[in-house]
Amino acid sequence: MKLRFPLAVLLIVHPVRAQMISSNELLGLAYSYRLTDITSRRFPQSRLLQWIDPLLATGRFTSSPAGTSAEGRTVYLYTYGTGTTKILLWSQMHGDESTATMALVDLLNLFANAHDHPLVTSIRTHLTLLMVPMLNPDGAERFQRRTAQQIDMNRDALRLATPEARILKTLQETHRPSFGFNLHDQDPRSTVGQSKEVAAIALLAPAVDDANSDTPERTRAKLVAARIVQAITPLVPGHITRYDDTFEPRAFGDNIQKWGTSTILIESGGWRDDPEKMHLRTTNVVALLAAFLSIAEGDYHQADPAVYETLPKNGRNLFDIVIRGASFKAGFSVPPLTVDIGINVDQEVDSTGLIVPMATIVDVGDLSTFGAYREFDGTGMMFDSTVIELKKSLPEKDLLHLLEHIRSR
Ligand SMILES: [Zn+2]
């Protein structure tokens, strides 16, 4: 009887707590402690430290060097809480994937300034959070995916050739965290399955082998992912996907899962009218708070794994720009056809360091199954091969200018 009583209490208490911690409450915290200085997703490490150092001065969390990048930048580890369950979080191992880095700064702001909030108290007494925002500061300096040595460090978990990969491996080995959060940005043109809907957040409990086996660690990661889905659904309803679960033997998420840490990948994708990804930054804060609380309170054990397992997979049915129903004459000797024109825009840096959005024509034909961030009605517009050439890139402003010109002709 003595053993049963506390169990019964737990069963009664947990649903009440789960109800108490609503998405709205987490969203309220995320908005209240959002660092207003951050308005762009492109920032170097020096800027990141300017945001974090005043928060560090509150003494609520600590900083320690985790190692040094190839170009000699110190990679910092921030530690919060005194709980027995350790959680390791790392962001921006790809230098141009900064959405979660912004979210981690917001969380540090929350921990620095709302130390006594009941939810924050629950986090810091049950958990020890080990946070590495910006694992690849050299890449972040150039806003590029790879490290200064031109290595994709997410394919370096086995060889450990790069100093950045060794930092992450050492952190996992030293602390043996129960949970790990692998924080990335995916292509904003990813979609919810084969629909035209943008994938805002993709989640994954990475595989540990080719057979896609479930280990106890991976099963726990799936349950926490299910809790994340429930928490962020009001923010990005119908826009949550499951990332490709093919085992990648050289990737960190897969290996850290294999090394005994329940690992969850969070990929921030795209969101309409939000190129700086501020909505997804807030969504990351809510996702991580929900994950922390479900781990702190142990309530993820009651999660339904199907909530994660039944998420639609990522698709690729989105362009940045589509011109619908234009007339296109590919050459002198062939008649014109009515086509849709699919265009993607990527940020390139010119020789003076200026960011130039470059538009590339990536497809021509029936693109009726594809959506776009921006659509133009091409009815009555005539294009020929001097303008439309597959794989041809031109500055986005020149393309838009050209469209105006053709439209008014
Ligand atoms: Zn990435």
- Ligand 1 centroid to Cα of residue 91, in Å, is 9
**What pLDDT is stored for residue 394 in this prediction?**
86
Q: Which domains does the chain have, with CATH numbers?
A: 16-315 (3.40.630.10), 319-408 (2.30.40.10)
- Ligand 1 centroid to Cα of residue 94, in Å, is 5
Nearest Cα neighbor of 131 from 308, 282, 284 is 284
- Ligand 1 centroid to Cα of residue 190, in Å, is 14
- Ligand 1 centroid to Cα of residue 374, in Å, is 25
Over residues 169-228, the pLDDT tens digits come to 999 999 999 999 999 999 999 999 999 999 999 999 999 999 999 999 999 999 999 999
Residues 251-260 have a mean pLDDT of 97
- Residues with Cβ–ion distance below 5 A, ligand 1: 94, 97, 184
Using alpha carbons, list the distances in angstroms from residue 235 to 26, 27, 224, 279, 326.
11, 9, 18, 8, 36
Residues 250-255 have a mean pLDDT of 97
pLDDT band at 13 (very low <50, low <70, confident <90, very high): very low
**What pLDDT is stored for residue 16 in this prediction?**
41
**What pLDDT is stored for residue 179 in this prediction?**
98
Q: Give dist(CA 252, CA 326) in Å, integer.
A: 45
- Using the predicted structure, report yes or no on whether residue 2 has a pLDDT greater than 70: no
- Ligand 1 centroid to Cα of residue 266, in Å, is 10
Q: Give dist(CA 401, CA 378) in Å, integer.
A: 14
Over residues 154-181, the pLDDT tens digits come to 999 999 999 999 999 999 999 999 999 9
Which is more confidently placed, 349 or 93? 93
**What pLDDT is stored for residue 409 in this prediction?**
65
- Using the predicted structure, report yes or no on whether residue 54 has a pLDDT greater than 50: yes
- Ligand 1 centroid to Cα of residue 311, in Å, is 20
Nearest Cα neighbor of 311 from 219, 391, 228 is 228
User: Would you say 242 and 313 are in contact if contact means Cβ atoms under 8 Å apart?
Assistant: yes
- Ligand 1 centroid to Cα of residue 385, in Å, is 36
- Ligand 1 centroid to Cα of residue 365, in Å, is 31
- Using the predicted structure, report yes or no on whether residue 264 has a pLDDT greater than 80: yes
**What pLDDT is stored for residue 3 in this prediction?**
40
Q: Give dist(CA 237, CA 248) in Å, integer.
A: 29
Nearest Cα neighbor of 80 from 70, 69, 88, 90 is 88
Over residues 109-165, the pLDDT tens digits come to 999 999 999 999 999 999 999 999 999 999 999 999 999 999 999 999 999 999 999
Percentage of the residues of the chain whose pLDDT score is greater than 90 = 84
Over residues 22-45, the pLDDT tens digits come to 889 999 999 999 999 999 999 999
Which is more confidently placed, 16 or 40? 40
- Ligand 1 centroid to Cα of residue 20, in Å, is 34
- Ligand 1 centroid to Cα of residue 152, in Å, is 9
Residues 63-91 have a mean pLDDT of 98
- Ligand 1 centroid to Cα of residue 259, in Å, is 20
- Ligand 1 centroid to Cα of residue 377, in Å, is 34
Q: Which helix (H) or strand (E) holds 61?
A: none
- Using the predicted structure, report yes or no on whether residue 108 has a pLDDT greater than 80: yes
How is residue 349 written in tokens?
């840096």
- Ligand 1 centroid to Cα of residue 268, in Å, is 9
User: For the stretch 318-335, what's the b/e string if a residue is b when 16 or more beta carbons lie within 10 angstroms of its beta carbon?
Assistant: bbbbbbbebebbbeeeee
- Ligand 1 centroid to Cα of residue 323, in Å, is 30
Over residues 304-341, the pLDDT tens digits come to 999 999 999 999 999 999 999 999 998 889 999 999 99
Residues 264-285 have a mean pLDDT of 97
**What pLDDT is stored for residue 385 in this prediction?**
78
Over residues 235-248, the pLDDT tens digits come to 999 999 999 999 99
- Ligand 1 centroid to Cα of residue 83, in Å, is 29
- Ligand 1 centroid to Cα of residue 296, in Å, is 27
Q: What is the residue-averaged pLDDT of the chain?
A: 92
- Ligand 1 centroid to Cα of residue 265, in Å, is 10
- Ligand 1 centroid to Cα of residue 186, in Å, is 6
pLDDT band at 18 (very low <50, low <70, confident <90, very high): very low
In a 3-state reduction of DSSP, which class is residue 268? strand
